[in-house]
Structures are given as C-alpha cells and as structure tokens.
Amino acid sequence: MFSLVVSATNWSLTREEPFRFVGLANFAQLFGDKEFWQYFINTGYLMLGMPIAIAGSLCLALLLSQKLRGVVIYRTMFYLPSFTSGVALLILWKALYNPQFGPINAALGPIFQWFGGQAPEWLLSTKNLLGLHAEDIRLVWAQFGLGARDAMIFMGIWISIGGSNMLLYLAGLSNIPQELFEAAQIDGAGPWATFRHVTWPQLAPTTFFILVMSFIGGLQGGFESARVLTAGGPAGTTTTLAYYIYTKAFEEFQIGYASAVSWVLFIIIAVVTLLNWKFGSRETNDA
C-alpha cells in the first residue's frame, strides 16, 4: 500500500520524461538566436542585486543577533515582505514605480530636479546603472541611468533582504561557539577584527549555501515580476530566460523551442549544483 503511494508520488515528480520531441535543430537555432543571448544577459544583470541582498541579510542578522529588546518584532517586520511576496506585492510596486503618479517619483522628483536632472522613468526605461545597450553587449553613455532592470533589482532586495537568508544567517550565528567570541575579546580584538576573523569564517558554510541557492534561484528567476510589472519590456530588457521560456511555450506555443531553452538552463544549473557538491563538501570539512 505504501509502495503504491510512493510510486504515485514518484510518477508525478519525475514527469520530465516526455522530452523526446526536442530535436537538436532547436539547440542549433538557439545558439544563433540573438534574443536568447540578450535575455541571458538580462538574467545576469538582474542577478547583480544578489550579493547586495545577501550582504544586507547578513547585516540584519548581525544586528538582530544582539540581545536587544524587541528582536522578535523587528524580525517579524523584516520577514513580512518575503512572506507576503507574490502578485499583490508586485502590483503594489508597479504603483509605487509609476513615473507620473507613483509616490517614489513624487518624493524623488524634486531632488532630481534640484540637480538639474529628470526623475527616472523606472519600469518604462531601458536605462541602467551599467549603461548597457538594450540589445547588445555594449556600454553606451546614453543608457546610463535608472531604468526597469534597476527597479527590479531594488524591489528584489526589498523583498528578500529579511527573508529566509536572514533567518539562515541568524541560525548560523547562533551556532557559533560563544568561547570563540570570548577568546577574541581576551585577545583584545575590536568589533571589526572579531567579525573578520571569527564571525565571517564561521559563517562560511552558511554563506556558501545561500550563494549557491540564490544563484540557482536567480538563473530561474524574473518570471513573476516580468509577467506582472513589465511584460518583459521595455525593449525586452526585463525578459529573463524563465520569462522567455514562458512566452515561447504559452504565448507562441513553440513548446519544442521553449524546452530547448529550458534544457540549456537546466544544464547550467546542474553544473552549478555539481560544483556546489564538490566545493561544498570541502567547505564543510574546513569548518
């Protein structure tokens, strides 16, 4: 009876089988596809916010790991965006970013004007902080500014900073033996030296885990925000690989081609996972 249940579960989880219809022609087409490379770069650009978000989570965890009053209340507040994240919050950010009516530009507009500039167009603009051209890997001065991709990054940081990464860091911090801190104090180490030589190395396995998980998540990310906020625009600048697969499969019904893209993504993720296993075990041995 249990094996029946197990086989049922296995069945529904290993549904990857019907991939047979993917021909090699799709892959050949894919590598010559300009759009594919553009969206590949987009995905990478959106992942640039990751290290900032992770560093932010670490800072929050460090602040919250002190014996302060009201820590639980702070933690609850920081966790709120990631717990309620979803379409409702994305729609909220769409309203916040609205260049004409949104509160962000209502607040920032005067500041930009004071400096003689214009308030950013956020989700309507292809500009970005690197000055990347919308379609090529070229840096163009005219593209420098704040645009849709940066808006996505800021929103992503806001959502994820107090989320599970912060909780993982908190757990990691509470696992560091207290003696290490005491020893550091006896050696006369200041807060920075303690962090540099005790906290950071002790947290290395946690950081490594978070980095790998975020990387894997980031490669597959950007679908919901693209679907709700921008429809992948402007000029395709917020289309990530995940959103590209969606549009190919469910709006253009090119299931075969979409599968090919998803396979390329899968192979990248599998490589990252294997590297994780290899280096991950080394990290844990060191710790």
Partner 1 sequence: MKETTATTSGRSGEWWFRKGRFGVSHLALCLLALTTLTPFLWMVLASFKHVSEIEGNLNPFPKVWHPENYAQVFKQIHFARYYFNSIFVAAWVTVLQTLTSAMAAFAFARLRWPRRDQVFKLYLFTLMVPGVVTMIPNYTLMVKLGLLDSYIGLIVPASFSAFGTFLLRQFMMGIPRALDEAAAIDGATHWRTFWDVILPLARPGLVTLAIFTFMGTYGSFFWPLVLIKSDALRTLPIGMLYFDSVYGKQTNLIMAASVMNITPLIILFVSTQKFLVKGIQLGAVKG
Amino acid at site 150? D
Instruction: Tell me whether residue 90 or residue 129 sits nearer to partner 1 (CB atom).
Output: 90
Beta carbon nearer to partner 1, 89 or 198: 89
Of 144 and 266, the one with the shorter C-beta distance to partner 1 is 266
Query: Closest approach of Cβ 131 to partner 1, in Å?
Result: 27
What does residue 127 show for φ and ψ, rounded to 5 degrees?
-65, 160
What DSSP letter does each residue of 174-200 carry, written as one string?
HTS-HHHHHHHHHTT--HHHHIIIIIH
**What is the rounded CA–CA span in Å between residue 106 and residue 21?**
52
Residue among 139 and 231 whose Cβ is closer to partner 1: 231
Nearer residue to partner 1 within complex by CB, 164 or 194 = 164
Longest dimension (CA), the chain: 73
185 CB-near residues (< 8 Å, 6+ apart): 194
DSSP state of 21: T
Least separation in angstroms between residue 78's CB and partner 1 is 6
Minimum distance, C-beta of residue 66 to partner 1, in the bound complex (Å): 6
Rounded to the nearest 5 degrees, what angle is found at the Cα of 153, between the Cα atoms of 231 and 115? Answer: 105
Paired tokens of 176: 């560091």
Three-state SS at 161: coil
Q: Which is nearer to partner 1, 37 or 263 (CB)?
A: 263
Q: Is 118 helix (H, G, I), strand (E, B) or coil?
A: coil
Nearer to partner 1 by Cβ, of 46 and 134: the residue is: 46
Task: Provide the 8-state DSSP code for 236.
Answer: T
Minimum separation from the CB atom of position 92 to partner 1 (A)? 5
| Residue 60 parent element (H or E) | helix 49-64
- In one-letter notation, the amino acid at residue 15 is R
Residue in 237, 229, 232, 263 with CA at minimum distance from that of residue 247: 232
Token duo for residue 192: 């920075």
